[in-house]
Amino acid sequence: MTFVPKLQLRDFTGGINTKQRPNKIKDNQLKSIISMDFVANSVQRAQGYTVLGTEPDNTLTGKTLYSHKILAGTEVLVKTIGTYIKYLDVVDNTWYKMTLSTFTTGLRWTFSSFNGFLYGNDGIDNWIYWAGSSRSTLVNAITPASVTIELQTGHGGRFPNSGNIMIQDDLISYTGKAGDQLTGVTGIAVNHPAGSTVILELDSSTYSGLTKSKQINFFKNRNYAVDYATPNIIRHSKLATNTNPETTLVNFAVAGGAGDAGFGIAPAEIISTKVYITGNQTSVLACFCKDGVVYSFVVTDTTTSTVNAFV
């Protein structure tokens, strides 16, 4: 019996094709097995990983990673590592501090976002607040002798009239603003090139009086916070307003009126909370409790009052 080859190859010039699936490559091409996984009867690209930013001290242990959405549709990666809270600067591909203030090490943080504002707590330290939309890049390089900072055109309105900013781990103060220029600048420690990212310093002191939380969720225009010390209590803030969400979403004072803050006492300790979309396309705030039951925490606003219940 004569053997008849099914496919005869005379052209071996196709090389390695690393872009297409094995069943899509040409007969004269090869599939590299570097970074590949064997799955069933085929070869597919391994999932792998991507290094997100450099970290000067790789001995520090990170506990929390959070993707914070800001108004322009941009997402900023925020992480807690060691005693610091940092953000990934995609310009420098480096993790920079959002404040020089330090926090208790080894704790997991929980965050929530609204209209570019970031809120967070770890159950021990003060609540933090960050205006993520107050963000720009330097038009011109600055040195320790600089007394003004030129932001990108139209970005001056993103920043308050005075305050503290962070540029590449450098905490810098300014006392005034003229259009897109920050004035009365002091505290520049090192040179910063044009194009460096400028952010408003994270605030870790204003909301020091808030009850510490083990978990925070933003849901239906409110912040929901599970008490750290008494975890069967969940508090909800006032309804957010676009005028000053930085105050309404951290206002947990019970008043009883429409759109006001309040709290609920769960049948058992709340282990975790998560927002879910149900089968009929409605959303619920699910509370996973220690009694093995998942409850929906429902807050209802009437024209005169705000009531809540575990369902």
Predicted TM-score (pTM) of this structure: 0.82
One-letter amino acid of 32: S
Q: What pLDDT score was predicted for residue 44?
A: 67
Tell me how crowded residue 256 is: count the other CB atoms within 10 A of its CB.
11
Q: What pLDDT score was predicted for residue 39?
A: 67
Q: What pLDDT score was predicted for residue 281?
A: 81
Around 112, how many Cα atoms within 13 Å sit in the side-chain half-sphere?
27
pLDDT per 10-residue tile (average), the chain, 311 residues: 59 68 70 63 68 79 91 88 94 95 95 94 97 96 97 96 97 97 98 97 96 96 97 96 84 92 96 89 94 95 93 93
Q: How far, in Å, are 82, 121, 167, 245 from residue 97 at the CA level?
A: 11, 17, 9, 24
What would the two tokens of residue 97 be?
């501090």
Interacting residues of 36 by C-beta distance below 8 A, sequence separation 6+: 43, 44, 45, 46
Q: How far, in Å, are 18, 20, 30, 148 from residue 41 at the CA level?
A: 18, 16, 16, 64
Q: What pLDDT score was predicted for residue 61?
A: 81
User: For residue 68, what is the enclosing H or E element?
Assistant: strand 62-69
Around 207, how many Cα atoms within 13 Å sit in the side-chain half-sphere?
25
Are 198 and 165 contacting, i.e. CB atoms less than 8 angstroms apart? yes
